[in-house]
Chains A and B, each alone.
Chain A
Amino acid sequence: DAGVIQSPRHEVTEMGQEVTLRCKPISGHDYLFWYRQTMMRGLELLIYFNNNVPIDDSGMPEDRFSAKMPNASFSTLKIQPSEPRDSAVYFCASSPLALLANYGYTFGSGTRLTVV
Chain B
Amino acid sequence: RKEVEQDPGPFNVPEGATVAFNCTYSNSASQSFFWYRQDCRKEPKLLMSVYSSGNEDGRFTAQLNRASQYISLLIRDSKLSDSATYLCVVMDTGRRALTFGSGTRLQVQP
B49 touches A102 (CB 8 A): yes
Closest-CB distance, A58 to chain B (whole angstroms) = 10
Interface residues on B, range: 20 to 34
A107 touches B95 (CB 8 A): no
A42 touches B100 (CB 8 A): yes
Number of A residues near B (Cβ < 8 Å) is 23
Could you say which residues of chain B place their CB within 8 Å of the CB of A28? Answer: none
Closest-CB distance, A18 to chain B (whole angstroms) = 25
Q: Does A15 contact B (CB under 8 A)?
A: no
A48 touches B43 (CB 8 A): no
* Complex alpha-carbon distance, A100 and B45, angstroms: 14
Proximity string of chain A (89-116) to chain B, C-beta cutoff 8 Å, 1 when within and 0 when not = 0010000010011111111111000000
Q: Does A14 contact B (CB under 8 A)?
A: no
Q: Does A53 contact B (CB under 8 A)?
A: no
* Complex alpha-carbon distance, A48 and B99, angstroms: 13
Closest-CB distance, B50 to chain A (whole angstroms) = 11
B98 touches A107 (CB 8 A): no
Q: Does B36 contact A (CB under 8 A)?
A: yes
- A104-B36 contact in complex given A42-B102, A42-B103, C-beta closer than 8 Å: yes
CB<8 Å pairs between A and B, sample of 12: A31-B96, A33-B97, A35-B100, A42-B100, A42-B101, A42-B103, A45-B97, A45-B98, A45-B99, A97-B96, A100-B96, A102-B49
Seen from chain A, the residues whose Cβ lies within 8 Å of a Cβ on chain B are: 31, 33, 35, 42-43, 45, 48, 50, 55-56, 91, 97, 100-110
Seen from chain B, the residues whose Cβ lies within 8 Å of a Cβ on chain A are: 31-32, 34, 36, 42-46, 49, 87, 89, 91, 93, 95-103
